[in-house]
Structure 1
Amino acid sequence: MSKEAELLTEFQSSIDNDSFVRLTLSKPVDSAGTLKKVIISLAFIKREAHLSFVYRHKTNDVTKNFKIKEAFNSLKPLIENDFQIANLFTVKADFQYERNGSKSRLRSTKPSFKTTPSRGHDKEKKHLIQDTEYLKQLGVLDKNGRVLKDKGDKFKQINKFVEVIESLIKNSELNTTDKPVKVVDMGSGKGYLTFALYDYLSTQLKLPTTITGVEVRQDLIDKCNRIAKAVNFENLDFQLGYIADFSLDKTNILIALHACDTATDDAIAKGMAAEAELIICAPCCHKQVRKSMLVNDELDSVLQHGILKERQAEIVTDAIRALIMEANGYKTKVFEFISTEHTGKNLMIVGEKKKQNPNPQQYLGEVEKLKSQFGISHHYLESLIS
């Protein structure tokens, strides 16, 4: 019996006698490919045993769940053809398989695990931001670290925001350098997301981080600076200022969450001028474009209702913002970053600076088409960068 067949037999036995913990496949034969690792675990989905395969690619993870018999059909070629190392963990023994060319070996050692993990599929999500002192002082958690009754949506929003940042940072050059990361949060408000971002970048990723929150309400600035000092966030500070007037030097990350109407455009323009690697916006209200929209006959049946006109104005406003950012060298994504049940202000625009500037006319031409179609004389962001 080949070593590969022996490993599969041990794997099958561990499933049958419920001693299976985990199987990992690593060191791909195609070292230049995107698939780097596969992690296999056992889960019960609708009371039926499945094997969950997490395909870990260079830039993302893909999870697929298979019934046991189907799983073996998928696993066999991965071991025989695609990966050179496999580690099978059971509560009875660990098995290490290694293949080098035509030679392969399989050895067993004492088990690393004494008990099997939970077989549940729908596990409670582990939050990136959990029991922290600043969230207690900001009034999100109580003194025991539990989410306050009326702050559940805010707690989810904070963690979802950090998840978005995590995915952006992981795939950027900011995560591969020791240079200081400068972040400016335009319109930081009560500071929930600003504190969480500093915590994640500085405490968890260990990046040398400086964050400035810009806010127009002095009482919020004083409170946030007091909390930052109390929790020893030395490079987090809050300053008084309006987005449009705030002087911004070269910045790595520019954030503007829920800046009203054209304040979002001010923030985007400031970010592009500061050559920010990342610009992250969650717009709030879209009055400027809505007021200037002239309904033509073709769109009259759609835009005659106020709520539909308002939503169409939001779509057109943010579409033009994304196109203008593209024209200025940013790869953009527009997406819903959290469910509407938690906040109605749930659209996010992300711009990642490209290494090469494209031909801007490709995108500016699309801007002109949208303006013509909806009878818009101008978009405020255009006036800021012209």
Structure 2
Amino acid sequence: MAALPLSEALDRVRALLLDPEGLVRAVASGRQKGQRLPHVADRDVRRVELRHVDLKTGRHLQVVSYDDTQAHTANFAVGSEAEAAVAALLAEPFGNWHVDTTERTHQLRVTKKLEAIVHTQDRAEALTAERGHDRDKQRLLAEDDPVLVALGISDAQGRIKPTRQAKYRQVEEFLRLLDSSITDALAKGHLRRPTEDEPLRVVDLGCGNAYLTFAAQRYLSHVRELPVRVTGVDVKQQSADHNTGVAATLGIDADFVVGTIGEADLPQPPDVVLALHACDTATDDALARAIGWGAGLVLAAPCCHHDIAAQLRKATTPAPYALLTRHGILRERFADTLTDALRASILRLAGYRVDVVEFVESAHTPRNTLLRATRVGERAPADVGEDYDDLVATWGVTPKLADLVELDRG
């Protein structure tokens, strides 16, 4: 894959985006080295999705842009409106473009020298573009998907059960985060490109009933068409038996391992580590395993931050921050923030680029923070370690994760 002039590569992307028959879906994500976040409709955005939809007034290019908190949708009529919208997007400093057409997958990554590395792959079978514009058809897994039915999220008629709407929203938001994260990591070379012989290895630590394990496998293999092998780890034999049965029903080749997060034995190190709502220091165990494996991508949604909270109750609050810990509810919330800030710092010191993002809207769950870490292999700037040292010294705490990993502090 030779480097191309960026303008030439973007012209190729332009033609793909403006093809109302061939475009299935396109995703722009990340930012070019040293550039600000792309700016769409007066908002900083981290990701944009495009596809063509059929409205009453004709075919339109639909652009969905995602900032830190929500999605915004705009539709542009095919022709001059769509051309202007695409021109504006291509002028923004996105670092990666992933374009699915009916016949091929195209990936573009912008290098530090502002050149473009382009990878194109033919499809084994042609895709059919979905042109419906209603919200249901924008979902990553349809309501009647066999995985959702098997997991009890949808009923036998393929409709989401009223009592499982929150779980379905969680699955969808997780898949959006997983999709954009893998797209970015593959484009930048932080994840190896999977093959049929060497599929992408995904492990879900503390998988429970494996809702997200199965959703990830289904989406990555059937929608993204990536070779993938999933493994779920849980301490309960009952969970492993249940999940193995579900996998057999769905015809999915997956592994389920019984054991603690810290001691689970896997035949090969995973490429992607998931740890969603692992309680208290179980999240630290999962992050430590991911660091030890050298996983390329880590998605962790922490839960129940008791460890640092207990340390704060025993420590003397430094001046002038007494008001942060005087009231129990404020101390607990501060402990949540402090815990995840320290985890993010340790991950950075371990060679990861880290984002802290909203998992699902807080209206659905108060535990809605997600740590997204991509292994870049670069030593963190010296001030990251200095800030970390100052923070733990000021508050008199010792993060569990710091006890579990050995960091090269230079």
TM-score relative to the length of structure 1 = 0.71
Q: Distance in 2 between matches of 1:64 and 1:218?
A: 48
Query: Which residue is 2:307 aligned to?
Result: 288
Pick one of 391, 400, 405 that aligns with 1:370: 391
1:330 aligns with 2:352: yes
The AA in structure 2 aligned to 1:364 is G
- 2:242 counterpart (220, 223, 227): 223
1:340-351 equivalent positions in 2, closer than 5 A: 340-351=362-373
Give the equivalent residue in structure 2 for 1:110.
none
Q: Which AA in structure 2 matches 1:304?
A: R
Indicate if the aligned counterparts of 2:271 and 2:297 stay in contact, CA closer than 8 A: yes
* Superposition pairs of residues 74-223 of structure 1, within 5 angstroms: 74=84, 123-124=135-136, 126-130=138-142, 131-173=144-186, 174=191, 176-178=193-195, 179-223=198-242
Report the equivalent of 1:353: 375
1:318 aligns with 2:340: yes
Runs of 4+ with deviation above 6 angstroms: 40-44, 65-68, 75-78
Shift in alpha-carbon separation, 1:228–1:53, aligned structure 2, 3 A: closer
* Superposition CA RMSD, Å: 3.6
Letter in 1 for 2:182: I
Distance across 1 between alignment mates of 2:161 and 2:64: 37
Whether 1:301 and 2:316 are equivalent positions in the alignment is no
Q: Is the 8 A contact 1:328 1:360 kept in 2?
A: no
Identify the residue that residue 260 of structure 2 maps to in structure 1: 242
- Equivalent-residue separation in structure 2 for 1:306 and 1:196 (angstroms): 38
Q: Is the 8 A contact 2:194 2:228 kept in 1?
A: no
DSSP 3-state at the match of 1:282? strand
**What residue is the counterpart of 2:401 in the other structure?**
381
Query: Identity percentage over the alignment?
Result: 31
Task: Give per-residue Cα distances to partners, 1:305-344, cap 9 Å, x unaligned.
Answer: 1111111111111011111111111001101121122222
1:261: Cα distance to partner? 0.7
Larger Rg: 1
Task: Output the CA distance in 2 between the equivalents of 1:211 and 1:197.
Answer: 8
Residue 71 to residue 304, structure 1, CA distance change in 2 (3 Å): same
Q: CA deviation at 1:371?
A: 1.3
Q: Deviations over 1:85-129 (max 9, x none)?
A: xxxxxxxxxxxxxxxxxxxxxxxxxxxxxxxx88x7x74452111
Partner of 1:233: 252
Judging changes above 3 Å, is the alpha-carbon distance between structure 1 residues 304 and 223 closer, same or farther for their aligned structure 2 residues?
same
Return closer, same or farther for 1:298/1:139 CA change in 2, 3 Å cut-off: same
Contact 1:326 1:360 in 2 (8 A): no
Question: Could you say what secondary structure the match of 1:244 adopts?
Answer: coil
Q: CA deviation at 1:191?
A: 1.0
Equivalent-residue separation in structure 2 for 1:76 and 1:292 (angstroms): 52
Q: Which runs of 5+ in 2 are unaligned?
A: 21-51, 66-70, 92-130
Q: C-alpha distance in 1, partners of 2:83/2:228?
A: 47
CA change 1:278–1:140 in 2 (3 A) is: same
Could you tell me which residue of structure 2 aligns to residue 264 of structure 1? Answer: 283
CA shift for structure 1 position 282: 0.2
SS in 2 for 1:298: coil
Alpha-carbon contact 2:53-2:62 (below 8 Å) kept: no
Distance 1:257 1:199 in 2: 18
Letter in 1 for 2:7: D
Q: Tell me what 2:298 maps to.
A: 279
How many matched pairs?
A: 310
How far 1:280 moved relative to its partner? 0.8
- Structure 1: runs of 5 or more not aligned: 1-27, 82-116
8 A contact 1:336–1:348 mirrored in 2 = yes
C-alpha deviation, 1:358, in angstroms: 1.5
For 2:259, the aligned partner's letter is: G
Q: Which has the higher contact order (CA 8 A, sep 6+)?
A: 2
Matched to 2:138, the amino acid is: K
- Secondary structure of 1:184's counterpart equals strand
Shift of 1:361: 3.7
Shift of 1:297: 3.4
Distance in structure 2 (CA, Å) of the matches to 1:141 and 1:384: 40
What's the offset of the Cα at 1:247?
2.8
C-alpha separation in 2, matches of 1:203 and 1:172 = 19
User: Distance between the aligned counterparts of 1:351 and 1:277, measured in 2?
Assistant: 8
Distance 2:311 2:262 in 1: 21
* Aligned residue in 2 for 1:19: none
Q: SS of the residue aligned with 1:255? A: strand
Letter in 2 for 1:245: E
More off after superposition, 143-152 vs 164-173: 164-173
